[in-house]
Structure 1
């Protein structure tokens, strides 16, 4: 759920570079042009058009034939107001594996089934493996470590029909999808295709919980993408497990 951040009530602020409020920022980008003085001038021109004035090229390096990578340092006059920033706050408690297992066993009297994978042409399993595999991530064991969870990891390049079929076979309570490839918004297109397929294949009250994650997602886009939750970079297995218990155990118990 999106909410307004209250972490800073000081009002509008400027970036910090050398001294407080000086508005200095560092920006990196690549231009499709051979490295030269003209190329550096083009980089400064771009920075100026983006509101950096003055702007100074502090690093420029050829990146193969016909491309140059730049780092530009300069001042901006723009202000940001933290009090108006909308973020998705965690609205459920973090549980230990023992607490999650106990809640599932007590409420469901069976194992909670999770099916996960990378859909479309995405072959980057590092994200889904970090959440599902027992080795886990950031010092936390993955969902395979939870004895009351049955985890089915389908791996990479899973088609949407295959995902739906396997979710039905396993009687999945939740479907976890990781998307790392973002060229031409492939992660958004794949997610919308996936959510539409599940809605066509299941009655609304029988549909598995749909969770998607990846470094380029916006947490506030869950409703737009047709999923129940979006997780972004840095998410740990414990956060995902706690969310599943919150939605599939705690919330259902309250509704009953």
Structure 2
């Protein structure tokens, strides 16, 4: 049986949604009507313009609130979900301790990409979203190589450190360079003959688990990922491999 979901506003299934956008027009009655018609063109019924704020000499930012007739069938959705259960920090540490050694993790923002926010948030002690990064865990030996690291350099450092896992961060996406560079790293490890000996994780604002799998990685983490999510996945995956359990064939 299909399970249809509609947006929740004031009550379950009422279909109320917010739509935000910027138009090249200055605030005023004409601008408000333009925003209303713009929202209607996107399927909102009886939209109310709840915000109208000038953001430049020529542009105004709007927020519209209205009724959407659309719904999604959840049972018809097939996605490549991350195969790891949520774990608390304490549970991660306990499972890591059971391995009898630290899990070596090496990460970098590769290629010409100079953005370190993502890789820093996951690996560095300061972490992200109120959670400390992998450096703060007793069960991890985390190495952050920073930004603009070439694929060959990352591979060499990871191999020298005996990495259990490698985290590749890709932020710049022009002309799909994030896909090309990420795929090239996987191919490099394959040519060197040790791809299957390491867990590969891919992260970034345009990354999801489906794309990561397509590019040859074990898992993909997108926007909003917190250190605990990565830590939980790693300790479970490394434990599985230590026990000789088979890897998901989709990988």
Report the TM-score when normalising by structure 2.
0.78
- Secondary structure of 2:186's counterpart equals helix
Secondary structure in 1 matching 2:36: helix
Alpha-carbon distance in structure 2 between the residues aligned to 1:121 and 1:30: 31
CA deviation vs aligned residue, 1:76-123 (integer Å, no higher than 9, x gap): 111223333445254346363532332332xxxx54321112223443
Question: How far, CA to CA, are the matches of 1:205 and 1:132 in structure 2?
Answer: 23
Identify the residue that residue 47 of structure 2 maps to in structure 1.
55
Is this contact kept in 1: 2:122–2:133, CA < 8 A? yes
The whole-number CA distance in structure 1 between the counterparts of 2:114 and 2:7 is 38
Q: Provide the residue aligned with 1:73 in structure 2.
A: 65
Contact preservation (8 Å) 2:82, 2:219: no
Partner of 1:241: 231
Q: 2:25: which partner in 1?
A: 34
Question: Could you say what secondary structure the match of 1:227 adopts?
Answer: coil
Unaligned runs of 5+ in 2: 247-251
Give unmatched runs, 5+ long, in structure 1: 1-8
8 Å Cα contact 2:84/2:236 also seen in 1: no
CA contact (8 A) 2:93 2:138 kept: no
Give the 3 Å change call, closer, same or farther, for CA 15–150 of structure 1 in structure 2: closer
Deviation at 1:39, TM superposition (A): 4.3
The residue correspondences of 1:72-151 to structure 2 (distance < 5 A) are 72-87=64-79, 88-92=81-85, 94=87, 96-105=91-100, 111-138=102-129, 140-151=131-142
Q: Does 1:165 align with 2:156?
A: yes
Q: Distance in 2 between matches of 1:127 and 1:199?
A: 26
Would you say how many aligned residue pairs link Structure 1 and Structure 2?
Answer: 242
Whether the 8 Å CA contact 2:110–2:170 is kept in 1: the answer is yes
Question: Contact 1:96 / 1:238 at 8 angstroms: preserved in 2?
Answer: no
Task: Select which of 4, 19, 32 maps to 1:12.
Answer: 4
Distance change >3 Å, CA 55–CA 93, structure 1 → 2: closer
TM-score, length of structure 1 as denominator length: 0.77
**CA distance 1:104–1:154, change in 2 (3 Å):** same
CA–CA separation in structure 2 for the residues paired with 1:84 and 1:242: 28
CA contact (8 A) 1:29 1:69 kept: yes
**Deviation sequence 1:213-247 (CA, Å, 0-9, x none):** 23442233222232111123443333323322322
Choose which of 200, 208, 214 in structure 2 pairs with 1:224.
214
RMSD: 3.1
SS of corresponding position for 2:225:
coil
CA distance in 1, matches of 2:43, 2:106: 46
Are residues 17 and 111 of structure 1, via their aligned partners in 2, closer, same or farther at CA, if it must alter by over 3 Å? closer
Instruction: Identify if the C-alpha distance between structure 1 residues 211 and 186 changes in structure 2 by more than 3 Å, giving closer, same or farther.
Output: same
